[in-house]
Amino acid sequence: MPTVPALRPARDTGSRLRREPVETMEGERSAKLPTKNISVRIDGELVTAHEGDTILDAARANGKHIPTLCYLKGLSAVGACRVCVVELAGTDRLLPACTTPVQEGMSIKTSSERLTLYRRMAVELLLVERNHVCSSCVSNGYCELQSMAQSLGVTHVRYAYNNPRMQVDMSHPRFVLDHNRCILCTRCVRVCAEVEGAHVWEVSSRGIYSRIVSDMRDGWGEAHNCTSCGKCVQACPTGALAEKGFAVHEMVKQSEQISRLAAQRSGRGNGA
């Protein structure tokens, strides 16, 4: 009896070619399926949300305000700032609204004395970990961190300042990076990777020494992947990333343009 030769494993390229049509068909099929509606209670009001939405999505869709700093519509949510924490019935933990998916029957509270206390604490800790001197910042008057502190009634900090002296990177011909004003929200990291596709930025080190770096700690002006598009500057909520040539109180950023670009890139319209 003749021996049957052993079957060789399919090449990776061929495997991918055979799977791609199936994945594409499944993606198209799932995109056409209707989204399931679920009922949740936000601040005592029964509202309808879509399956897969986060608490923040559901709240904003129903006119409920939840403060945010690291979140930017159109970018992936990371829950870095912890300003958007909410209370959920049945647990003592405070949950980040931007990354917690809604579930049927949830009872959520977006405003309380406890939430205000923890949100103030989060903002104060951001302030003490960097040198945020508003009077000498290009974003003074237009800074999201400054506005958040004012809305929460943060007029001073209760903790000792623990910020290391950070350098200012002015190597780029158009833009400047001031690490002293960075709150590590990673908006710049996400917009560069998810919208521009350049993957210039990343977070380096740990703790209070964490900082944004470009191309393996090269100067921003030496980053070969940088396209000088300025999206990271517009996405930045503080004066950490700014355009050269602006004086104090002059840098007005257009973060909503980033949301529109992200929506157009993903095919969801204008992002309004």
Question: Is the Cα torsion angle 128, 134, 137, 143 positive or negative in sign?
Answer: positive
What is the structure's pLDDT at 213?
96
What is the structure's pLDDT at 182?
96
Domain 37-111 fold is Ubiquitin-like (UB roll) (3.10.20)
Residue 101 has pLDDT above 90, yes or no: yes
Residue 24 has pLDDT above 50, yes or no: no
Residue 13 has pLDDT above 80, yes or no: no
In angstroms, the CA 210 to CA 240 distance is 14
- Closest by CA to 83, choosing from 50, 140, 122, is 122
Domain 137-266 fold is Alpha-Beta Plaits (3.30.70)
Supply the mean pLDDT for the chain.
87
Eight-class DSSP state of 33 = S
Domain boundary assignment for the chain: 37-111, 137-266
Predicted confidence (pLDDT) per residue in 119-166, tens digit: 999 999 999 999 899 999 999 999 999 999 999 999 999 999 988 888
